[in-house]
Amino acid sequence: MKIGIQGTVGSFHYEVAKNLFGEDNNFVECMDFNDIPILLKQAKIDKGVMAVENTIAGAILPNYSLIDEYDLHIAGEYYLPIHHHLLALSGQNIADIKEVWSHPMALLQCRKYLRSQPHIKLVEEKDTAEMAKIIQQKQLKGIAAIAGYEAAKIYNLNILAESIQTNKINATRFVVLDLKNGGDAGQDFNKVSIRFKLSHQPGSLVNVLQVFNRLNLNMSKIQSVPIIDKPWEYAFFVDLLIDNLADYQTAMYEVARQVIELKILGEYQSMKRK
């Protein structure tokens, strides 16, 4: 398969794709999240892997908007514990490092450790693993990257400091994306991702939530996202855990009658969080 990942081979997206589908696939590197839905639409990749939320940084709202805008289907999910390491060429120590190059999110998640090293300048870049790759290719001394163990292994860099993320309980939720409309026929599922739009009526959101409550649907996530070109209007993305198929079907029928628009983004198996 051709699998689109954000970042370079060795990135956290790569690690998720490898864990889900195995190493014997073609991993297509995308430096921008926007490239993933475009490549799916162009049939240049079979699936895409995209981060949607992190336990420290919260929801990645632009990615929710991409899923909606391109009518992408969520085929699965994966929770990856995030361990950020400080990587550099062999033979160096912390005192030798003058700059750290990494993705803004990685820098944010390691801010406490980085503050303890005031001699190091922080440089924002597009990808964690890409910086590790460049350091190795150009043999850059005095420069470190923040990336995962996969990047250290692939690009043969020394780990100067392990697990430097501020919050040790740090995980990212990724979703697997393709172009299928809804869940696969006959496939068992216990989790559903939906998106709906509400009218500007008092209690409109409460009415939807009451449907979920009455039919015993466990709402594991709700996220409001601004609607492009419609100021002060929002779409709601909701994840539901399903115990009873009939209750779920009844809920979708009732919710569809109460909202302006309802879209089922995906029906899939939930993954136990690590």
Domains (ranges, CATH) in the chain?
2-81+170-178 (3.40.190.10), 85-161 (3.40.190.10), 191-268 (3.30.70.260)
End-to-end CA distance of the chain: 27
* Mean pLDDT per 10-residue section of the chain, whose length is 274 residues: 95 96 95 95 97 89 93 96 96 96 91 95 92 96 96 97 92 93 65 92 92 96 86 89 96 95 95 68
Q: For 8-59, give the secondary structure using H, E and C.
A: CCCCHHHHHHHHHHCCCCEEEEECCCCHHHHHHHCCCCCEEEEEEEECCCEE
Q: What is 76-100 written as a DSSP string?
A: EEEEEE---EEEE-TT--GGG--EE
Strand partners, 24: none
Q: What pLDDT is stored for residue 182 in this prediction? A: 46
Q: What is 199-227 written as a DSSP string?
A: -S-TTHHHHHHHHHHHTT-EEEEEEEEEP
Take residue 100 and report the two structure tokens written for it.
């750290």
Per residue in 95-106, is it b (16+ CB within 10 Å) or e — as a string?
A: eebeebbbbebb
Place of tokens 């490092």: 97
Q: What pLDDT is stored for residue 273 in this prediction? A: 64
216 Cα distance to chain centroid: 28
Backbone phi and psi for residue 111, each to the nearest 5 degrees, phi listed first:
-60, -35
Amino acid at 97: I
The sign of the torsion formed by the CA atoms of 8, 10, 12, 14 equals: positive
C-alpha to C-alpha distance for 47 and 36, rounded to whole angstroms: 9
Q: What pLDDT is stored for residue 57 in this prediction? A: 79
The answer to whether 72 and 178 are in contact (CB under 8 A) is: yes
